[in-house]
Chains A and B, each alone.
Chain A
């Protein structure tokens, strides 16, 4: 097992090297002027375009630009992100905990809800409940995130006033969090650790709408897969044998059928978490949630090279770590899977 994990971790620099060559290489297809564009905010600044290109060495040949980036990265300096106005590393340090917080509050309901509804749908195949769930799934699957997000805001914030609007914290608590001792960077967790339950509740309330949006949109595909897997499992030989042995339907469904149906859900769950940790771009933007996703959108729009490369590095790390965990989880669910 240890060998397996070490092998996976060694993959990170290799993946990163290839990724960085690709990203830096691709940016060479842009003109120096286009790459200088993130530094310009007005026509007056555009007057200094040539100096900006010179200062940043944007006309240098590809190997020179790449090695400059490489040397800095090796020494732990990922550069300055124009999109966040901070160093890339500081930006990730600041925003990743918020994204992790949103991932936790989102991924668990998505997985539990999808597994439950998928199972329910399969067990009641073609009955009313299955029909309703299938229609709902298709609607949720086809609904663009930005439409759903704005709709949620309009109903629950603007019209009903039940939940707070965009942001991570209410105005009244904004000044109060200056006194909080930060342990994890996750605001709700840190507030709890400081005994500030009011702030923790406030942060959680602010996450409800983005989490609900993500849950509705992301659950649909997992429900569909779970339903299909479950249907397949229910008609398989081992389930028939279990039934023939006289086991109760509950044990047959839950222990024999569902456990096997869960295998591909673990993989999908891995992708889901990778996606959420990499930032829920549209959701974070609509709800002004200060996570990685919002930053990446801005960085991509601005051709913020340092940010894009920093994000690529982070993504590579997330993919390798999460997929390693998924593979380990495979072994737990299916004892036939071994890594030695």
Chain B
């Protein structure tokens, strides 16, 4: 008994020392940190730490998605009809290595991103602005050293100058992206990375920088500097030489804890300040309202999701059945008839999806664009669940053949995705209820397989979403609606007016004009119904109540929470 008492005392005593100190922020995440090299950062887990150690030229101002403010730049000027951007860089900014940031560092950063531009990175969209094409020198003949060298330069006044081949209204927003954070030339080349010259540029084209030497030894200008990382832990500490306001929290530890129950227990005990939750239903039941927990709800969500109705279904996918309108299949052009698309749009129960999947926290959108994005027009009409209208539309489709003969539509959904499965099941049930001759067969399919098949146009109908890289409507609108947009092979919807408006919106920096063009696209898309718009989710966040600095007012979904803005009581 005595031994047990001694052991218990020892255990409890040492436990008392284990509580996280006030000067340390503790984060527990489910995923690891794939890279700490900004040049290849293209996922939220990496961005969270890169955002604290590195800085971009400019960033979003508060919660605004339209207003950008200087960070490593102090001001900028746009000239040459919107094709030249000249940046004044902040003076006396130190890297964690101790070196002072110069224009050469910024020039090297962007050139490195253009040279490597690997498939794993998000550099394709900055490449599009600066070289005119999305690919690297291996993919595109037009990308030469001369093109890259000219795209970004330092002038005699030490200013950073970008020379764009054509106007890009989204260029500034693209610069706010984590992947464009400034790195130190001398330090990086010293690690054995690209020299920054023409001599070895070819060797670095398309190179995956995920495990680069810079990723192992990061060095930025941000408020936190890297201390150490091992299999499950990342450590950072406040950088003494930081040019801005000194962070209130000295140390930060981000731990990888894959098991949700373990994270929840640590959070509820106060051993972790932030954790990855388990989705709204789990978190509302197990975290919300518990002592010491702050819960902020009704935050903007920036993902847009739709059910695609493919107008040119590739028969090689084997989803057409008989391939005819005989009740046993569908023809390849089934969705070309606008009445079919409208009928399906009226048959989706939007409110039920909000209740079943989003636990009542969802919002129907008018366009495939997050509602807080510039260019979003709330006045565009939306479809509602209306079986009578769906019936009327489908009776008109294919001159009455669809209604008379019925159809068997086979659609895939992403395996293990409950929201995708639920959405498709809602649609199936409602469509089949309209006419006993209508049959929808749903099948689960691996995501990678769906991506490949849909790119070949083989998926008849499927649910897919898009999350933004930068806060510009073009990132969504062109992706979904343009006939040469990224998603076009999946939907095969082509509308000459929409293509014209989207191109016009790309070539002007006049915000009012762009907004008008996007409204036109939204209205046209409502009429033509190429997609069934899935309601947008409403985000939430939670953290320990002794953490200060996060409010609904300063929450910006485009950037990670800055640890430097937080304090702990």
Chain A residues with CB under 8 Å of B26's CB are: 171
Q: Which residues of B contact A86 (CB under 8 A)?
A: 211
Q: How far is the CA of A30 from the CA of B255 in the complex (A)?
A: 33
Other than the given A31-B452, A170-B17, A297-B258, 15 more pairs (CB < 8 A) read A31-B448, A40-B448, A41-B34, A44-B467, A46-B451, A86-B211, A150-B259, A153-B261, A158-B269, A161-B15, A170-B18, A172-B21, A174-B233, A175-B235, A287-B262
B42 in contact (CB, < 8 A): yes
Per the bound structure, the CA–CA distance linking A153 and B267 in Å amounts to: 13
Complex CA–CA separation, A91 to B231 (angstroms): 8
A295 at the interface (CB under 8 A from B): yes
A150 to B264, CA, bound (A): 11
B160 CB → nearest A CB, Å? 26
Q: What chain B residues lie within 8 Å of A83 (beta carbons)?
A: 32
> With an 8 A cutoff between CB atoms, is B124 at the interface?
yes
Contact residues in A for B455 (Cβ distance below 8 Å)? 49-50
Query: Taking the nearest CB of chain A, how far is it from the CB of B301, in angstroms?
Result: 15
A153 to B269 Cα, complex, angstroms:
12
Give A30-69 interface residues, CB cut-off 8 Å to B.
31, 33-34, 36-37, 39-52, 55
In the bound complex, CA of A288 to CA of B486 (Å):
39
Q: How close is A334's CB to chain B, nearest CB, in angstroms?
A: 38
Enumerate the 7 nearest inter-chain pairs by beta-carbon distance, A residue then B residue, closest first.
A290-B231, A51-B119, A48-B119, A33-B452, A170-B18, A166-B262, A37-B448
Q: Distance (Å) between the CB of A99 and the closest chain B CB?
A: 11
Q: How many residues of A are in contact with the other chain, CB < 8 A?
A: 64
Residues of A whose CB lies within 8 Å of any CB of B are 31, 33-34, 36-37, 39-52, 55, 80, 82-87, 91, 94-95, 98, 149-150, 153-154, 157-158, 161-172, 174-175, 178, 201-202, 205, 285-288, 290, 294-295, 297-298
Nearest chain A CB to B31 CB, angstrom units: 9
Query: What string of 1s and 0s marks CB contacts (under 8 Å) between B5-26 and chain A?
Result: 0001001101101111100101
Within 8 A of A (CB), among B243-282: 251, 253, 255-259, 261-263, 265-266, 268-269, 271
Question: Are A84 and B231 in touch, CB under 8 angstroms?
Answer: yes
Q: Could you list 22 examples of A-B contacts with CB < 8 Å? A: A36-B448, A39-B119, A40-B448, A41-B34, A42-B467, A48-B120, A49-B448, A51-B119, A84-B32, A150-B262, A165-B262, A166-B266, A175-B237, A175-B251, A178-B228, A202-B14, A285-B259, A286-B258, A287-B259, A288-B232, A288-B257, A294-B232
Q: What are the residues of chain A within 8 A of B449 when measuring CB–CB?
A: 31, 33-34
In the complex, the answer to whether A55 meets B451 with C-beta atoms within 8 Å is no
Q: Is B163 positioned at the interface, with any CB of A under 8 Å from its CB?
A: no
CB distance from A297 to the nearest CB of B (A): 8
Which residues does chain B contribute within 8 Å of A205, judged by CB atoms? 11, 14
- Asked, given contacts A55-B206, A85-B35, whether A165 binds B43 with beta carbons under 8 Å apart, the answer is no
The distance in angstroms between the C-alpha atoms of A49 and B255, with both chains bound, is 30
Cβ-Cβ contact count across A and B, 8 Å cutoff: 176
**How many B residues face the partner with a CB closer than 8 A?**
67
Min CB distance B138 to A, Å, is 8
In the complex, what distance in Å separates the CA atom of A37 from the CA atom of B486? 18
Q: How far is the CA of A51 from the CA of B127 in the complex (A)?
A: 15
CB of A298, distance to nearest CB on chain B (Å):
7
Q: B208 contacts which chain A residues (CB < 8 A)?
A: 55
Known: A31-B448, A33-B448, A37-B447. A48 touches B124 (CB 8 A): yes
* Residue B122 at the chain A interface, CB threshold 8 Å: yes
B232 touches A168 (CB 8 A): yes
- B446 partner residues in chain A, CB cutoff 8 A: 34
Chain A residue contacts of B447, Cβ below 8 A: 37
For B15, B208, B262, B265, the residue with the greatest tally of chain A CB atoms inside 10 Å of its CB is B262
List chain A residues, Cβ under 8 A from B265.
153-154, 157-158, 165
* Cβ–Cβ contact A201 & B256, under 8 A: no
B271 contacts which of A51, A85, A94, A171 (Cβ < 8 Å)? A171
* A288 & B124 in contact (Cβ 8 Å cutoff): no
A32 to chain B, nearest CB (A): 8
* Bitwise interface map of B from 207 to 239 toward A, beta carbon under 8 Å scored 1, else 0: 010110001000000000001101111010100
Smallest CB–CB gap between A332 and chain B, Å?
Answer: 34
Minimal Cβ-Cβ distance residue in A for B21: A172
Whether B262 contacts A288 by the Cβ 8 Å rule is yes
* B465 contacts across to A, CB distance below 8 A: 43
How distant is the Cα of A31 from the Cα of B227 in the complex, in angstroms? 40
B118 at the interface (CB under 8 A from A): yes
Closest to A45 in B: B42
A153 to B26, CA, bound (A): 19
